[in-house]
Amino acid sequence: MRTFLAAATGLPTILPTAALVVIVCFWLPVALGVASARDFDADADLRSWGMGGVPVAVALPALPALAWSLSVATPLLLTAFAPPGPATGLLRLVVPVAALLAAWRLTCLLVRPLHRLFPDEPGLRELRHAGRRAA
């Protein structure tokens, strides 16, 4: 447990941990019924990030959750299987950036099948129009 807490609150991983806390602080009022999950949909357009067609409340929480999971799991695996040394230390600094890029790509792949569940979102309509123009 100590290793897990050190990995989650260590210097490079603290950024995805803070983002995950923000996501929890968003979903807590939604779960209590004080706010609606659609309150932030008009504020952001995720099409340029490759996550259009689903609500912001669905796509955006997945990104820090995946980045946090990858950022915490990788140092734990390094601690368990890699010998300590300068290469391992350098790899621990690179992991959060790589985890963020991998999480972004995974989020894009995960939200793509969800387009069908949200037909009112702008990303899906543009995909349909692009398909008609190509045909």
Residue 124 in this model has a pLDDT that exceeds 50: no
| Token pair in block for residue 94 | 């690179």
Tally of helices (H runs) and strands (E runs) in the chain: 5, 0
Q: Which residues of 16-42 are buried (b: 16+ CB within 10 A; e: fewer)?
A: bbebbeebeebeeeeeeeeeebeeebe
**pLDDT-derived band at 121, boundaries 50, 70, 90:** low
23 CB-side CA count, 13 A: 19
Cα–Cα distance measured from residue 14 to residue 90, given in angstroms and rounded to the nearest whole number: 17
Q: Please report the pLDDT score of residue 105 as a whole number.
A: 92
Q: How far is CA 116 from CA 10, 35, 38, 81, 121, in A?
A: 39, 25, 17, 42, 10
Quote the pTM value: 0.70
Q: Please report the pLDDT score of residue 119 as a whole number.
A: 65
Would you report the helix, strand and coil content of the chain in percent, each value rounded to 5? 75, 0, 25
Residue 126 in this model has a pLDDT that exceeds 80: no
What's at 83, amino acid-wise? P
Q: Please report the pLDDT score of residue 133 as a whole number.
A: 54
pLDDT in tens, 2-45: 777 776 777 777 788 888 888 888 888 888 888 777 776 666 77
Q: Please report the pLDDT score of residue 42 as a whole number.
A: 63
pLDDT in tens, 46-65: 777 888 777 787 788 888 88
